[in-house]
Structure 1
């Protein structure tokens, strides 16, 4: 497993040398863009709009646009010095909190933490401490020159670190348009909706959920590679806009209702 970061985790005076590994992977199917006429891959060039000519990496500098077409240019050396000043290769756990206190909207990316050669004992201690306390650690880390807020928690037998958004990175719910008043709910509709939720409630099994689009796309690619005739599936009908909530809820209940168990009948033996 590829190491994306090396450093240490500390809580109090306990220091744990660790390595960071990406816990998830993007399985999107990447499609190239080709020229329709000759199927040659399309390339992209960096062009200066002012000079109308192609530029190389050496001709490019980074800048911050503080107002329309007004920039503060930052030298590569200035950025490198700033990065080095803030590149602390340690994760200090600042606080311990309960996982349920953090809304999922804050979570960003998950990493596995593995102990370095000398860190196994301290790693096991932190893992056991988090398990026994029922808490997770809140920490800060710098990854690729960006400071991240993060949490450290137990996942199965490993410690994982999940980067989370800073509060000012989460947009205000007040900016979301057309949110209905909570008092508009009809009790009968609510009771029926709760019955539907109850019928659809099950234990979470991640293995039952698959990316159907990716599977179908790969099948299409394999069929075309093999020269097979590709058939187009009929579109599934989309539900109409819900105008009668009770009718829609009742139909949903009927559709998800489990069949009643068949009654077992006992036969009486005839006397010979």
Structure 2
């Protein structure tokens, strides 16, 4: 059970809901450290005085900010920073409700699950149902880890979530970093591109996607720990940005043709006569494949889909 990252109250109007906040995301995979080559000695970083090279104790370190380009700094003592802290409020005060669709994903920073405390189940369910029915999201602020955050409260998968948002001055205008393309779009190419998008449109199924690099890293570590070696000969080469230039409309037509051929091949496989299945021709479930994967010590098995487990078990066997 993950620990709480914040405990407090959601308030809207005169209604209060006691909640506990949990991180909605987590990272997986092995942690890779730095070592001196040929040894088991870890590489460590230390705080040192850049003028003398001597180590500096934590109590002798203060923060500072550069005020101009002439290496001039203002040093800030802990007491200076303490007086400007946003306070230790434990309330996420909703100051208004907006359409959740109005907030572009560009503004989202981190997302957390909100669970009710023991005495707030009823108002929690009420707020959840009201947001689901209205299609609205609550907008407010909260203080977490000594920082003030703009937050959006929304219903997700039967629970409330709070997403911290970037402040307006933190989101760049695209024209600040690039020059947006100009010019007319060829209508024929636009039609082909729309057809290609339609042909490639599918349902959002997160389980279909996996982190191939992480899986290979786990496999590499496990194999080297056993004294073996791993070689991935099928790795795609890096693109050099050179080679034959293909006309955009030709590339679109070729892509459409390729998608149609794949669809026809799949339809042909489904439409063909199925091979006879004997009474003992059992298609293993994901749970059964997981048990086999455990026995075979297949790395990354916990994040594999059923088909990926079947392939991994077959390869290992």
Q: Same fold (TM over 0.5)?
A: yes
- SS of alignment partner, residue 84 of structure 2: helix
- 1:133 Cα shift? 0.8
Matches for 1:86-235 after TM superposition, within 5 Å: 86-181=87-182, 183-235=183-235
User: Would the alpha carbon gap of residues 238 and 4 (structure 1) be closer, same or farther in structure 2, given more than 3 Å must change?
Assistant: same
Q: CA deviation at 1:238?
A: 5.5
Q: Higher helix fraction: Structure 1 or Structure 2? A: 2
- Do 2:7 and 2:20's aligned partners in 1 also have CA atoms closer than 8 Å? yes
Number of the residue aligned with 2:297? none
Pair 1:248-2:247 in alignment: no
For each residue in 1:123-179, what CA deviation from the matched residue of structure 2 results, as whole angstroms up to 9, or x when unmatched?
Answer: 111001101111010110111111111100001111000001111110111113242
Q: How far apart, CA to CA, are the structure 2 residues paired with 1:110 and 1:118?
A: 24
Between stretches 12-21 and 227-236, larger displacement belongs to: 227-236
CA contact (8 A) 2:153 2:163 kept: yes
Structure 1 residue 237, shift from structure 2 partner: 4.7
How much does 1:53 deviate? Answer: 1.2
> In 2, distance between residues paired with 1:213 and 1:230?
13
Which protein is richer in strand relative to its size?
A: 1
Task: Give, in whole Å, the separation in 1 of the partners of 2:102 and 2:149.
Answer: 19
| Aligned-partner Cα distance in 2 for 1:92–1:264 | 58
TM-score by length of 2: 0.78
- List gaps (5 residues or longer) in structure 2: 273-317
Cα shift readout 1:174-206 (whole Å, capped 9, x = no counterpart)? 11324211x332111111111110011011111
Match of 1:20 in 2: 21
Cα gap change, 1:245/1:116 in structure 2, threshold over 3 Å: closer, same or farther? Answer: same
Aligned equivalent of 1:82, options 81, 84, 90: 84
Deviation of the 1:28 alpha carbon: 5.2
Cα deviation, 1:28-71, whole Å, max 9, x if unaligned, reads 54211110132311111111112331101011011222223222
Structure number with higher relative contact order (C-alpha < 8 Å, ≥ 6 residues apart)? 1
Matched residue, 2:74: 72
The alignment partner of 1:16 has SS state of: strand
Structure 2: how far apart are the matches of 1:222 and 1:2? Answer: 30
Other-structure match for 1:259: 264
> What TM-score does the superposition give when structure 1 sets the normalisation length?
0.90
> How far apart in 2 are the matches of 1:28 and 1:96?
38
Contact kept, 8 Å, 2:152 with 2:162, in 1: the verdict is yes
SS of equivalent residue, structure 1 residue 8: strand
Q: Deviations over 1:49-106 (max 9, x none)?
A: 12331101011011222223222222212323433x5221100101101111111100
Q: Structure 1 residues 94, 35: CA separation in 2 closer, same or farther (over 3 Å shift)?
A: same
Q: Is the 8 A contact 2:174 2:180 kept in 1?
A: no
**For 1:78 and 1:229, how far apart are their aligned partners in 2?**
56
CA RMSD, 1 decimal: 2.1
